[in-house]
């Protein structure tokens, strides 16, 4: 069964590496979501006419799938694209050392195909020369955009002076960006631009001292075409609320320096379509990057795109469509990464998928104890038949 967006219009199987134009989003069930929030008409009209281009790369929508460590594999990017509404999807974090050495893990994380376009490849590290070589590798292996990670708060990244640790060394961060811009120009003739993703600072003191707008403006000076801002500090990790005024400060600083030539993308706490609209309205950002919200709701881009266009929200996917989405993910993962890795991923992701299935603790437990993809499908079919239901709902365990 195919579902959502272009797949419902008969697009070729993306795993075969073929492309298609897609079509109008089908409104599942023939109706609209019963909880469609009101939309400010003037805001929707303004957003409908907005164009998001990152340098020479034109996006179909201003909605981007975040490079979530451990989650943004080709299979997941594919199901989000099949539901529709994705303007750009990013790979998992990529180590340039691993890419240049050709390690299996890095190459697996960098997998892409013709359906998976435009795609951003995100690099993390602290050495300008190595990062520049990684950027060249990305051009040669299908990247539409290269992004530098300046926002990951995970210890294994920051202890190597990468990720958000670069917010503590702005000079190094700018040198990395400058080296990558030059490498991309040489490798692609300007076809593949550079963007950067950051946080508000390492600490709240950094935020108050304006680290993020300062860094964003310095990145503009060396040729970065877009900056994504996660509205938290490193010390906040994923706790507390996204600080939208902090994102707005970066938007205002970049606009004052570069006008609309350089784009600012807002990121953080986008879990429902209205959150994307509110992010753009409250911060003035040019686009919205969605991370953890997509893990349980891969059709979130479809719904947010409709809201940003001022259109009625499509209906909530049926239970059958949600289950078929899970099956589709497992099947794609088996093809791209193998059965062992597919089973590892579905066991850890089932808590996320279950957030949109209602009380289903028996199903989640059953999936965690499966050994093969066929067993996963059998448990999902039993759920559709009315079994493996009930139990108190529990939040997903991973912070992603």
80 labelled catalytic: no
Given the residues 72, 152, 180, 242, the one annotated as active site: 152
> Residue 35 has which token pair?
């909880």
Spatial distance between the Cα atoms of 240 and 298, rounded to a whole number of angstroms = 24
Distance separating the N- and C-terminal Cα atoms of the chain? 28
Is residue 138 within 8 A of residue 95, CB to CB? The reply is no
Distance of CA 314 to the CA centre of its chain: 21
DSSP assignment string, 260-274? TSSEEEEES---SHH
CA R_g for the chain:
20
Q: Strand ranges (DSSP E) for the chain?
A: 53-54, 57-58, 63-65, 88-94, 119-123, 145-150, 194-199, 226-230, 263-267, 287-290
Instruction: Round to whole Å and give the CA distance between 151 and 192.
Output: 21
Give catalytic residue positions: 152
């Amino acid at each position: 069964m195919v579902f959502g967006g272009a797949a419902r219009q008969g697009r070729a199987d993306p795993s075969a590496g073929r492309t298609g134009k897609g079509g109008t989003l089908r409104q599942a069930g023939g109706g609209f979501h019963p909880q469609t929030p009101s939309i400010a008409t003037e805001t929707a009209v303004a957003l409908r006419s907005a164009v998001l281009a990152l340098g020479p790369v034109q996006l179909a929508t201003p909605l981007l799938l975040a490079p979530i460590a451990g989650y943004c594999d080709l299979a997941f990017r594919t199901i989000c694209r099949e539901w529709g509404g994705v303007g750009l999807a990013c790979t998992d974090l990529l180590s340039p050392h691993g890419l240049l050495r050709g390690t299996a893990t890095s190459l697996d994380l960098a997998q892409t195909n013709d359906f998976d376009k435009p795609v951003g490849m995100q690099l993390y590290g602290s050495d300008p020369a190595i990062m520049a070589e990684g950027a060249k590798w990305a051009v040669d292996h299908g990247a539409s955009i290269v992004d530098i990670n300046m926002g990951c708060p995970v210890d294994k990244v920051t202890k190597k002076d990468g990720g958000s640790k670069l917010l503590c060394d702005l000079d190094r961060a700018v040198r990395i960006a400058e080296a990558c811009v030059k490498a991309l120009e040489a490798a692609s003739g300007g076809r593949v631009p550079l963007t950067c993703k950051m946080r508000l600072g390492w600490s709240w003191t950094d935020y108050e001292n304006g680290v993020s707008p300062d860094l964003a403006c310095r990145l503009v000076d060396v040729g970065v075409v877009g900056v994504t801002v996660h509205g938290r500090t490193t010390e906040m990790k994923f706790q507390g609320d996204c600080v939208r005024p902090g994102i707005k400060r970066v938007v205002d600083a970049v606009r004052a320096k570069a006008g609309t030539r350089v784009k600012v993308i807002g990121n953080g706490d986008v879990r429902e379509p209205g959150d994307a609209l509110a992010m753009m309205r409250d911060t003035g950002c040019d686009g919205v990057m969605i991370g953890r919200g997509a893990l349980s709701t891969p059709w979130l881009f479809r719904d947010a795109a409709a809201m940003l266009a001022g259109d009625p929200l499509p209906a909530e996917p049926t239970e059958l469509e949600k289950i078929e989405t899970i099956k589709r993910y497992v099947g794609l993962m088996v093809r791209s990464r193998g059965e062992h890795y597919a089973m590892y991923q579905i066991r850890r992701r089932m808590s996320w998928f279950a957030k949109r299935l209602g009380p289903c603790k028996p199903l989640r437990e059953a999936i965690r104890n499966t050994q093969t993809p066929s067993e996963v499908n059998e448990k999902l079919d039993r759920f559709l038949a009315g079994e493996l239901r009930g139990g108190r709902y529990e939040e997903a365990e991973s912070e992603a």
